A and B are shown apart, each in its own frame.
Chain A
Amino acid sequence: MVAFRPPPKLGIGVSYHPVLREALDASHDLIDFVEISPDILCYERVIAGQRQLDYHPTMLDEALRWIASRPMVVHGLGLSIGTVEGWNDGYLRILDRLYARQAFVWHSEHLGFLLTTSPAGQPLHAGVQLPLPFTEEALDVVVPRAVAVSERYSRPFLLENTTYYLPGLPADHDRDEIAFLNDLTTRSGCGLLLDLYNFHCNAVNFGFDALAALARLRLDRVVEIHLAGGVSRNGFLMDVHSNVVPDAVWTLLEWVVPRAPHLAGIIYELLEPALPIVGAAGIRQQLERARSIWEQTSAMAHTGGAYGTA
């Protein structure tokens, strides 16, 4: 386990993408920090079964120029930290290169897995983040890796809760997602990137009370919050970062912010295909509302109780 070290509070941020630059420029005055996914700035090739990532020669320069003097955090896409047979080393190599170029305040990845094999041993890429079961075996895989990644850069490392659509994930000791996240952050010392829209999707899709669940979560390990919107399909709420933040998620944010003493930043996420839907004005509205909640309630963060109080 590493000691949990809360980072400095940064404020409100955006996820960087080259296609979104112009739209994000319209909210320049509202952006305190920038989250970057190094994967999107790279080529990927598979050589002798190994995934090799290389930065596009100009995309990283352009990203860092756009970020300028704002603090930078990292949100990876392809580490596949939960793959039993091994995570994606190629992702860590590009993160090494980014860190050598410009230090990040904290970094994060998805709590799940992308890579696996077929029954015959052929490499398989799921193409979508798949969930881990809420078991000791899963913790035995992820906890030491979270520790290793934290120690690699001497920066706080966060894991993000994901959306999943498979009911009744295997669990032991009556553990649910909340208990699993608590065990993960307690045993590893890593922080939590609480994706409130993912959380909301799971609550809607599986019929649990989101606020009651959040009340059981180790809110003292929440370092970053992601906000997003999505769509419904086939009776499920989907996390596709394709819309404005729904009211129910704003309600969750208003509840969490004063109860998460180490919350350091809130990010509004939008995927580039959704830019025509939300637009620059829509992005600005999301950032303004997030900032309003941050400024009004962050100073009122509760510190009483085991993990934060209801």
Chain B
Amino acid sequence: MALRDLQIALGTRIAMHTPDPPCQSAPQAWWHTLNLTPAEQAWFEQVMDSPGMQLTCEVQQWWRRMRLQSTLRLTLAVLPPAQRMAVIQAYIASEPCMSLFFVPEALQFLEFVLKTAPDVPYLEVVARFEHALFRVKETRDTLACTPQEVVALLPTHRIGCYEAAALILFPTRPEWLLGALLQGTVLPEPDGHQYPVLVAPGLPHLWRQATPDEVHLFTVCQAATPVEHLPAALVNMSEPLHTLLAARALYVEPAPKCGGRDAE
């Protein structure tokens, strides 16, 4: 169907943002593989580098920049002003638009930052933290059930981590770093210690510092593990288990029945 292919041509061209000179001159330019009528192909070749096409691309980019600047208070604040727009532009040029929504755009940007890892102090930890915050916020808002209370832990029970929960190691006191970012003041220096921060949907403010026992238990339970396979010391650690359950960082589930069906 020609209209389908015309839409593919337009969508692909806008995703490119800028013209691809080598492609244009090639006898088998990418749009030649599409099922366009001769009139449509002629029209597309006429408009693909037109001022109107350039403006259409710019409108899309403007919306994407606006979504990021409205949403990413922490990660963008870590980037020096001179570098901020360059990173945003690099992201827009590299990663296609996938949504009109703010959070998917923000998550995609944060994943780009973590992948490309610009050498900026605190960028990785803040990007991971902000990514985790967005994910647990969505999880919190869509979770239907209340936090688990486990009265008696059976050896066959399994303990695992909620997918959205995260443990992030800050190289300086997190409240000082985040406060400085939000207020635009000088960032604290790393002090040689690590400060583990738990991000989980059941926490009142979605994050807090984690205790060493919580760090140990959360780390060990990254993959759902039967209680009988956990170190005995962890089995007896009822307080961190309960606090992590209450935070919706961990869950406890019965062992699956024989035949692969989970118990009700």
Q: Hey, which bits of chain A sit against chain B, CB under 8 A?
A: 39, 42-46, 51, 54, 56-57, 77-78, 82-85, 113-114, 116-119, 123-128, 130, 132-133, 135, 137-138, 141, 164-170, 205, 233-236, 238, 240, 273
Contacts and interface: CB of A to CB of B under 8 A. Distances in A.
Contact of A126 (B11, B40, B43): B11
B50 A127 contact: no
B100 A77 contact: yes
B58 interface: yes
Contacts of A128: 14, 56, 59-60, 63
A118 B9 CA distance: 8
A234 B63 CA distance: 17
Interface in B75-126: 96-101, 103-104
A128 B142 CA distance: 28
B15 interface: yes
Contacts of B31: 119
B46 to A, nearest CB: 7
A74 B54 CA distance: 31
Given A119-B12, A125-B100, A170-B43, A234 B54 contact: yes
Given A125-B97, A126-B14, A166 B30 contact: no
Contact of A235 (B34, B51, B53, B104): B51
Contacts of B3: 84, 132-133, 135, 137-138, 141
A44 B104 contact: yes
Contact of B55 (A116, A118, A127, A233): A233
Interface residues of B, number: 46
10 contacts: A44-B104, A84-B3, A118-B11, A118-B15, A119-B33, A133-B40, A166-B50, A166-B53, A168-B43, A236-B55
A127 B141 contact: no
Nearest to B69: A273
B145 to A, nearest CB: 14
A84 B60 contact: no
B101 A44 contact: yes
Nearest to A44: B101
Contacts of A137: 1-3
Contacts of B138: 43, 45
Contacts of B43: 168-170
A33 to B, nearest CB: 25
Given A127-B64, A170-B39, A170-B40, 16 more contacts: A43-B103, A45-B138, A56-B141, A77-B100, A83-B7, A84-B1, A117-B8, A118-B11, A118-B15, A119-B12, A126-B97, A127-B100, A165-B52, A167-B47, A234-B51, A234-B55
Nearest to B56: A165
Contacts, number: 135
**Of A77, A84, A164, most B-chain CB atoms within 10 Å:** A84
Given A167-B50, A168-B47, A113 B101 contact: no
What are the 9 closest A-B residue pairs judged by CB atoms, nearest first? A127-B97, A165-B52, A116-B11, A127-B60, A84-B4, A44-B101, A116-B7, A128-B60, A124-B11
Contacts of A82: 7
Contacts of B59: 128, 165, 238, 240
Nearest to B138: A43
A46 B98 CA distance: 9
A84 B2 CA distance: 10
B10 interface: yes
Contacts of B58: 233-234
Nearest to A59: B141
Contact of A236 (B15, B52, B104): B52
A124 B54 CA distance: 18
